[in-house]
Structure 1
Amino acid sequence: MKLMIDFLDETISLQHEQIERIEDLLQFAANVEDVKEGAELAVTFVTNERIQEINREYRDKDQATDVISFAMEELGEGEIKILGDHIPKHLGDIIISVQKATEQSEEYGHSFLRELGFLSVHGFLHLLGYDHLNEEDEKKMFTLQTKILDDFGLTR
């Protein structure tokens, strides 16, 4: 397996099979993006209340959201980059609201697992440096995430 993924379900609501499927999807996405073997990331599933706290604290937005990513490659002011091929690359953290995933799956008319997969891949691509701040970048990122989901078999 390319990725070392640490999963934490703070909601205690997901089935083991659902988390395994998300792990398989993220491994698939890592292969598509040719991520270095042994790269690490964490995925935490939370409530709306918890993701709102995180959003408020780190992004100054006092509202629940569906997914937040914290990429380790983004250096803050005064931070220095740790170099060395022997050090496993920690990509960062993905935090997903299970409640938002449920709401959005119903709103968009697809399965909960498809929405959870979409949010996982979306967060993962952010960790790899993809963004959607402008129209061109948005098209590139959303095309890639749709292709990954479709090729993996998590279609709408």
Structure 2
Amino acid sequence: MSNPRSSSEQPSTAAATSAADRLGGLGKVLIAVYLVLAIAATFRSVYQIITKFDEAPLAYSLSAVAGVVYIVATIALIKRRGVWRAVAWCALVFELCGVLIVGTLSLTAPQLFAHPSVWSQYGIGYVFIPLVLPVLGLLWLRSTARAAGAGAAAGGEGSA
């Protein structure tokens, strides 16, 4: 004997799961790009700080900060539940502000930067990925929050 209530709930649960699956693919790409950027920015800044810090201390310090932010963002996006969701939001907002502030300063006051940082000229040295990535990450976090809410409303746990 079938339960009429469970069969009527199936479509909405399936729709929430389908939406979460689509978001999961984008999430995997975002996390992979964050991981690559975290490794690249961190190792580049460590090398620059060790070998030629006196040439451009501000730029190399900003690159190190960017590397740490990318590491934190990567971990928070992977976990993205509970307090980690708030950490992800904070890291991505900080990253976006950093890119916008440093990008603008690097264009309006280039004398501050003897060498480029990860965020200089809005991330031009990294094909503008530092500018686009936090925007996509914030949109993804917002979308996964909606998918989780839809899944919970449909009687499931959600996957965000």
Same fold (TM over 0.5): no
As a proportion of its length, which structure holds more strand?
1
As a proportion of its length, which structure holds more helix?
2
TM-score (norm 2): 0.28
TM-score (norm 1): 0.28
